[in-house]
């Protein structure tokens, strides 16, 4: 069975695919503006603590479910805890919704990459830059074209299969992505005013750390590690039998966090280098603020930057796409080709609406990150922590020792309480 579903043929490929899923728009686009809105270094500190003690156990819960059942999200829950299989539908649905609106932002980055190729940011002022963004988002043809091409690229990679498509693409692109972001960081740090950006990222201001900021840090950590909808579960169902899932998870989280910090170091010093630009600009930070910074730089810089955004977005979108396709393949018995086509067409529908109606876009983002992902994560830790025998979980993680006992304690007791607390904070 496992062979027929495809597999990642080495630890390196598995880690690159999982890191590919994790590292995406969440790191380059969302993380810097969240840091900007919630007080800089203090937010980063909370983010790292949340990632270690809450997100990592959730990651392991998903990994255990996927690896032990060798099925996608719905099948894994049905097999392990039949009463909770509704959460499997919810996970697949959430992955589908995220694929749709995520591909819209993927389309924007494609658009910006093409613009940067033709030197489109030269001599741009801040007012013009806001104009570029709103012109793009209000041009139906432009937004739809970017979105459709991006979604089509994701479909092609998933169509090529788990190993030859997803594995091969991630294995080549992820190392390149690190090189690209490091080049940008080095450049950003050499700008005048970079020190202020660094201070902002490194000196904590605890006065802004309220309940919502902490909830946002955990939400960001879940989003960044692709948790709560079953992406990690699905990818884990493709790892090799003897794979040490503990090590795979630790590497993935490490790469993801390092990359988010690098993105912060790429973006913030650049923002601070131009007077009058705001680190707390919010979602428009990368698409409005940065082009102004880029307008004064060597034109190669924005090309590398937006290529990095595009690649990072693609390696993530394929993980959600694959999850939905895997559900069709495992549960409905359709071929990969047909599954990919169906997901593509459905996402084309919802994504087009997201692309054209901002309120639908925000509603999709809000529902997935504040409700589906947290609820999904809660189900995963409850099912593994309370319905699976501890030795079976230990075997799947391939980890003995006290480290597992610590993870288990957090998974079973701390995660459920923390997740419920965050859900309440988010909905109040
Ligand atoms: N983690 C990706 C990012 O940071 C996005 C992503 C992929 C995701 N799969 C997910 C987010 C599943 C939530 C759930 O951009």
Over the stretch 32-91, which tens digit does the pLDDT of each residue have?
989 988 888 999 999 999 999 999 999 999 999 999 999 999 999 999 999 999 999 999
pLDDT the model gives residue 400: 67
pLDDT the model gives residue 321: 98
For the entire predicted model, the pTM comes to: 0.96
* Contact between 172 and 369 (Cβ < 8 Å): no
**Closest ligand 1 atom, residue 369 Cα:** 13
- The protein residue with its alpha carbon nearest to ligand 1, atom 6, reads 226
Which of 58, 102, 258 should be mutated for ligand 1, with most atoms under 8 A from CB? Answer: 102
Averaged pLDDT for residues 403-428: 94
* CA separation, residue 200 to residues 261, 265, 312, 323 (Å): 12, 10, 25, 38
For ligand 1, is residue 426 a contact (CB within 6 Å)? no
For ligand 1, is residue 99 a contact (CB within 6 Å)? no
- Straight-line distance from the first to the last Cα atom of the chain, in angstroms, rounded to the nearest whole number: 45
* Contact between 340 and 325 (Cβ < 8 Å): yes
Ligand 1 center to 34 CA (angstroms): 15
For ligand 1, is residue 26 a contact (CB within 6 Å)? yes
Place 293 in a pLDDT band, splitting at 50, 70 and 90: confident
Structure tokens at 32: 């810097």
For ligand 1, is residue 231 a contact (CB within 6 Å)? yes
Query: Which residue is listed with tokens 């529902």?
Result: 367
Over the stretch 370-390, which tens digit does the pLDDT of each residue have?
899 999 999 999 999 999 999
pLDDT the model gives residue 1: 40
* Contact between 31 and 220 (Cβ < 8 Å): yes
pLDDT the model gives residue 279: 86
Averaged pLDDT for residues 282-298: 86
pLDDT the model gives residue 128: 85
Tell me how far apart the alpha carbons of residues 171 and 173 are, in angstroms, rounded to a whole number.
6
Contacts of 88 (CB under 8 A, 6+ apart): 73, 74, 75, 76, 77, 78, 230
pLDDT the model gives residue 4: 64
Tell me how far apart the alpha carbons of residues 273 and 329 are, in angstroms, rounded to a whole number.
50
């Amino acid at each position: 069975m496992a062979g027929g579903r495809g597999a990642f043929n080495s630890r390196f490929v598995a880690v690159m695919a999982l890191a590919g899923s994790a590292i995406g728009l969440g790191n380059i686009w969302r993380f810097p503006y969240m840091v900007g809105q919630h007080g800089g270094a203090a937010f980063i500190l909370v983010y790292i603590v949340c990632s270690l003690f809450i997100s990592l156990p959730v990651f392991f819960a998903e990994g255990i479910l996927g690896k032990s059942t060798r099925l996608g999200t719905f099948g894994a829950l049905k097999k392990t805890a039949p009463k909770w299989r509704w959460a499997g539908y919810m996970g697949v649905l959430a992955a589908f919704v995220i694929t749709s609106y995520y591909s819209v932002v993927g389309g924007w980055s494609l658009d910006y990459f093409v613009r940067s190729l033709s030197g489109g940011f030269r001599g741009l002022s801040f007012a013009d830059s806001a104009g570029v963004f709103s012109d793009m988002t209000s041009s139906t043809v432009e937004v739809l074209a970017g979105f459709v091409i991006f979604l089509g690229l994701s479909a092609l990679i998933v169509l090529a299969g788990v190993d030859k498509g997803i594995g091969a693409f991630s294995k080549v692109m992820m190392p390149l992505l690190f090189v690209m972001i490091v080049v940008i960081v080095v450049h950003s740090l050499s700008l005048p005013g970079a020190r202020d950006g660094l201070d902002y990222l490194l000196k904590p201001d605890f006065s802004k750390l309220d309940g919502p900021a902490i909830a946002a840090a955990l939400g960001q950590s879940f989003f960044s590690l692709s948790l709560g909808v079953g992406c990690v579960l699905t990818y884990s169902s493709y790892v090799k039998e003897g794979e040490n899932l503990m090590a795979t998870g630790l590497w993935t989280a490490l790469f993801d966090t390092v990359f988010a910090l690098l993105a912060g170091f790429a973006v913030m010093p650049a923002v601070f280098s131009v007077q009058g630009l705001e680190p707390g600009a919010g979602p428009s930070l990368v698409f409005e603020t940065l082009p102004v910074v880029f307008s004064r730089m060597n034109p190669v810089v924005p090309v590398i930057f937006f290529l990095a955004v595009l690649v990072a977005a693609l390696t993530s979108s394929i993980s959600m796409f694959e999850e939905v396709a895997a559900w069709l393949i495992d549960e409905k018995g359709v071929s990969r080709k047909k599954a990919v086509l169906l997901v593509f067409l459905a996402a084309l529908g919802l994504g087009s609406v997201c692309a054209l109606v901002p309120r639908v876009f925000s509603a999709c983002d809000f529902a997935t990150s504040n409700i589906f992902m947290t609820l999904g994560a809660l189900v995963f830790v409850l099912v593994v922590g309370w319905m699976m025998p501890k030795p079976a979980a230990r075997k799947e993680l391939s980890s003995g020792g006290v480290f597992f006992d610590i993870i288990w304690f957090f998974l079973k007791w701390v995660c459920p309480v923390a997740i419920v607390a965050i859900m309440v904070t988010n909905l109040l």
